[in-house]
Amino acid sequence: MRVVAFLTLLLCACSDVSLPDHVLPSKKMEAVLYDVIRSDEMVDFLSLNDSTYRFPAHRKNLYDSIFQLHKVKKEDFQKSMKFYQGRPDLLKVILDDMQKKATDTATTSRPLIH
C-alpha cells in the first residue's frame, strides 16, 4: 500500500504543472513566443533601414497573423506571458527550448550564397 501511495505521489509531482484557465501549455507558448520574437526582430531591422517604415502598424499586423496562425487569442497570450513571467522556473524551460531551436536552425541552415 505504501508503494502505491509513493508512486502516485511521485507521478503527480512529475506531471505538468496545473495551468490556470486561458494559459497556454508550455509547448504552445514556446511556439507562439518564438514567432513573436522573430517578428519583433524583423520589424526592428526594417525600421532601422527605412525611416518611412511604420513599425507599430506592421508589428500589430504581424502579431495578429501569428495569433491567427497558432489559433491563439491575443488576450490568452498576454495572460500566459504574465503567468510564465511569474513562474521563472517554467519560463526558463520555454526560453531554453527556444534557444536550442534557434541554435539548431542556425547550424542546419545552408548559406544563401555559395
- Please enumerate in sequence order all residues whose Cβ is within 8 A of that of 22, keeping only pairs 6 or more positions apart, or say none: 73, 75, 76, 79, 80
18 lies in some domain: no
112 lies in some domain: no
Residue 111 carries which DSSP code? P
pLDDT, tens digit, 9 for 90 and up, residues 42-56: 888 888 887 777 777
Q: Distance between CA 86 and CA 31 in Å, rounded? A: 19
97 lies in some domain: yes
Question: Which residue range(s) make up the domain with 44?
Answer: 26-104
In this predicted structure, what is the pLDDT of residue 54?
73
Length in residues, the chain: 114
11 lies in some domain: no
What 3-state DSSP class applies to 86?
coil
Measure Cα distances from 101 to 19, 77, 108 in Å.
24, 20, 11
In this predicted structure, what is the pLDDT of residue 44?
85
pLDDT in tens, the chain (114 residues): 543 333 343 334 444 578 888 899 999 999 999 999 999 998 888 888 877 777 778 889 999 999 999 999 999 999 999 999 999 999 999 999 999 988 887 777 665 554
Q: Distance between CA 8 and CA 113 in Å, rounded? A: 56
Q: Are 79 and 23 in contact (CB under 8 A)?
A: yes
In this predicted structure, what is the pLDDT of residue 114?
47
In this predicted structure, what is the pLDDT of residue 112?
53
94 lies in some domain: yes
In this predicted structure, what is the pLDDT of residue 109?
62
19 lies in some domain: no
113 lies in some domain: no
Q: Distance between CA 101 and CA 24 in Å, rounded? A: 19
Report how many domains make up the chain: 1
Question: Pick from 102, 99, 96: which is nearest to 84 by CA?
Answer: 96
39 lies in some domain: yes
